[in-house]
Structure 1
Amino acid sequence: MSAAAIITYTTSGSTTLRASRGRPEVPILCLTESLVTARKLALAWGVQCVMAPDVINFSNMVGRACQIAKEFEYASPEQSVVITAGVPFGTPGTTNILRIAKID
């Protein structure tokens, strides 16, 4: 399976930094509601940060990630993306979800 992008939801930036450390061949799209975190990650390898409000539930997370990936042209319809996040949402250090989603 080849993914068009890796999408990380992060509060503190640690999820995105872990993904960036592996230097993947696909871009990393970081979704955060924290301007401080977005600025900190601006220098991370392969990372593009997008300011996005925190998600409410799992389906909202997947839908918003796919919409933003398509909007910023990181993925086109029928491509797959890898999404990482943590539950409960908005709590730093809880990355425990890895989801592969297809762009509509």
Structure 2
Amino acid sequence: DSGSTALWMSRHSVRMPIYALTPKVATQRKMALMRNVSPLLMDTSADRDTALADAEAHLKKRGIVQSGDVYAITVGEPMGTPGGTNTLKICRAD
């Protein structure tokens, strides 16, 4: 929600694109100024599992992720609480 994890990740010289999904237009605009971050608007989900599935579907719809791709995703719980990133999940797209 806040973009703080995207900011932290953009400070490192990673060679992979960073896609930051947020429901807030203000956060999307802020993240557009960060190095190597592509911010995308996405509706919020009530629970973590739904949010992760929605994020993958959103990335697949845009052609960023394809079936069989491996990607990492971060999320904070409880969802919607700033500064709460506490999960890193390695996924394979369906």
Q: Given residue 87 of structure 1, which amino acid in structure 2 is its aligned partner?
A: E
Give the TM-score, by structure 2 length: 0.92
Residue of structure 2 equivalent to 1:46: 36
* CA displacement at 1:58 relative to structure 2: 2.0
Any stretches of 5+ residues in structure 1 without a counterpart?
A: 1-10
Residue of structure 1 equivalent to 2:11: 21
Residue of structure 1 equivalent to 2:70: 80
Q: 1:65 aligns with which of 45, 51, 55?
A: 55
Identity rate, percent: 34
* CA displacement at 1:74 relative to structure 2: 1.7
Separation in structure 2 between the aligned mates of residue 82 and residue 32 of structure 1, nearest angstrom: 16
Does the 8 Å CA contact 1:27/1:74 hold for their aligned counterparts? no
Residue of structure 2 equivalent to 1:34: 24
Greater alpha carbon shift after TM alignment, 18-27 vs 94-103: 18-27
Give the TM-score, by structure 1 length: 0.84
Count residues in correspondence.
94
